[in-house]
Structure 1
């Protein structure tokens, strides 16, 4: 079951990322400007942010099996509509709908952690996160390669078939809900994440860090497809997918970041990650040279940016989960909503920067986003709670009182 759930996490999250590799093909296929076609990526990410806010809290009240299966069926239907879209308006609307319903990983991970025994909870969570990162890494390769061979509609059709197949499999393997588990929707579920953001300064700080990091990350990846397939390199969408494979380094770095957080606290990891993002922007500038040297610079810069973003996520989630252990799901809803709102804005701003200032403008945008987060890190309270996560977990009330 854990293997199937890990695959489901990867497949679901891939629906947000594979359009980044096929947006140039969409532009060519529909006869659109590149920045118009990039609206598909922005709509998917904005929809995902809305789904995090509106649907993920339902995991605390609605039985998991019908909720997960229903969302996967709706995702498959949205992907089919996108694959047959006659023009940009329908495609953008379908992409937004897919983004809303493909929040399945953020429901599966807390569910699996609750089903696992205490002695296996960490291993189960780690396996599911590996599936999630694997989906992110392979999505662009899948989209770029299949789109190059069969056209931009093919990745949507294959993704739809996969989502519907997983819905059938999970309906068979997930445990049936107990009658007393059915509690339904409640309006307070929508208010709670907002209330937590207003009440917890450390949550707001973590949200800002990740919104800036993920915004820069999305800006770079969305614009990379335009650069690599444009006149500077003249390569196909498949090349974007191959460059995306360098992100496998983040699968190795995340566990090290977690152990570093345990030893020295999340702030140190955040600082290194933010500085790493600024360094990545400088390395990515090499991409303006073109040729083999430019491709090496792009691959190295994207690897550094990916590692910085994923490692920073570990630090941020460690900080917020230490605030209120009884409300970790709602804290994560607030955090991930802010993260993907930043990613959506970054995708749109990245295309605008590339259109008007070309690749150096995108690199400047990545550095500026990290710089905003660095300024907030510098202005953090010296007596900020949670300097070490274990201490906060053992005395959450004391930490809140110190604020």
Structure 2
């Protein structure tokens, strides 16, 4: 399941490394080409809201296999796109259908006792991190040698293969609830309103992940620009620096089980704030700049991914019968924040340069820190949480 999370989530992230190649191919501005990554993330947010609630209603095995098949077809269409408009449309469909990891996470949490849920989420999150990291390396290295279409076509083949494998390997499971589809969507919004701990997790991830997305969207423009003059392959290699977060995620899950999600969140917010300062070294150029970028990216990746473990462990403990809907509300908001971060990062870089992008990441982390220090405004902390509410009523 962790491997499946990594392979499928890569489809959202590898376009970030292809921005300069797409801009050159279609003769458009780099900031315009960055919209491909933005719409893929925005499509992912739409898919999270519209499709993930079905994980509480439908058997997950055929649902997961079907979504992967749709993703594979959309990736093929993107790789064969004759114009940027077709690429944008196909990228949106890829984002909408690539929600398989967010169906697997609540499924896995339901297979173990609550005392181990943090560790299990950390294991699957390690797979997600691996997919995210290798996605940028995959996109950058293959794009450099095969052109921008190569990564899309290879990803299409891998995703179709994954659909077949999961269709055969996943355990069967009955539907958790029997309710009309509109009711499931309404329940997602109701949970966001009723659950302070869900809103707390949402706010932490929207801010920190928004700064993360802004940084990665602008990084390709920085590395391939006049300050460094390197190819997109270098962007992919820099992504490998974040491999340390793969090993931290399972540990973060164990820390959540022992110390609570809030303690881990605080560490992650401080890591993101420190990372924003380290990333300003990118203004130096040369070896010193690359070292600073590598250190900042590693710390930022650790903060975002370990924070994700803490946030999802918190929300999955709220209402077991509504895990997919809780995850829908959380992840939809998180990727709306990521899409906004990508959009702001590209425009901040175009207008004011890399320093503005670092400032944007710092502001995002500071907003999360303010929310942590004022829990009454975003919901109680773990040790102040309300007792579990009754089972969600379905009308």
TM-score, normalised to structure 2, is: 0.91
Once the two structures are TM-superposed, the CA of residue 158 in structure 1 deviates from its matched residue by 0.2
Is this contact kept in 1: 2:47–2:97, CA < 8 A? yes
Once the two structures are TM-superposed, the CA of residue 184 in structure 1 deviates from its matched residue by 7.8
Moved more, 42-51 or 181-190: 181-190
Is this contact kept in 1: 2:219–2:235, CA < 8 A? yes
Deviations 1:278-300 (A, max 9, x none): 21111100001111110000000
**In the superposition, relative to structure 1, how do residues 199 and 289 fare at CA in structure 2: closer, same or farther (>3 Å)?**
same
**In the superposition, relative to structure 1, how do residues 101 and 383 fare at CA in structure 2: closer, same or farther (>3 Å)?**
closer
- Secondary structure of 1:396 counterpart: coil
Q: Which residue of 1 aligns with 2:211?
A: 216
1:63-78 correspondence to structure 2 within 5 Å: 63-78=59-74
Is this contact kept in 2: 1:265–1:386, CA < 8 A? no
Corresponding residue to 2:363 among 357, 368, 371: 368
1:3-18 correspondence to structure 2 within 5 Å: 5-18=1-14
TM-score, normalised to structure 1, is: 0.90
Q: Which residue of 1 aligns with 2:262?
A: 267
Moved over 6 A (4+): 116-123
1:101-116 correspondence to structure 2 within 5 Å: 101-114=97-110
Q: Which residue of 1 aligns with 2:241?
A: 246
Is this contact kept in 1: 2:119–2:254, CA < 8 A? no
Q: Which residue of 1 aligns with 2:382?
A: 387
**In the superposition, relative to structure 1, how do residues 102 and 121 fare at CA in structure 2: closer, same or farther (>3 Å)?**
same
1:23-34 correspondence to structure 2 within 5 Å: 23-34=19-30
Corresponding residue to 1:346 among 327, 332, 341: 341
**In the superposition, relative to structure 1, how do residues 125 and 317 fare at CA in structure 2: closer, same or farther (>3 Å)?**
closer
**Structure 1 unmatched ranges of 5 or more:** 399-403
Hey, what's the Cα distance between the residues in 2 that align with 1:382 and 1:19?
Answer: 37
Aligned pair count?
390
Once the two structures are TM-superposed, the CA of residue 271 in structure 1 deviates from its matched residue by 2.3
Hey, what's the Cα distance between the residues in 2 that align with 1:44 and 1:34?
Answer: 16
Corresponding residue to 1:100 among 89, 96, 107: 96
**Structure 2 unmatched ranges of 5 or more:** 391-395
Moved more, 143-152 or 19-28: 19-28
Hey, what's the Cα distance between the residues in 2 that align with 1:370 and 1:225?
Answer: 22
Is this contact kept in 1: 2:56–2:176, CA < 8 A? no
Deviations 1:39-87 (A, max 9, x none): 0000010011111111011111112222112111110111011111112
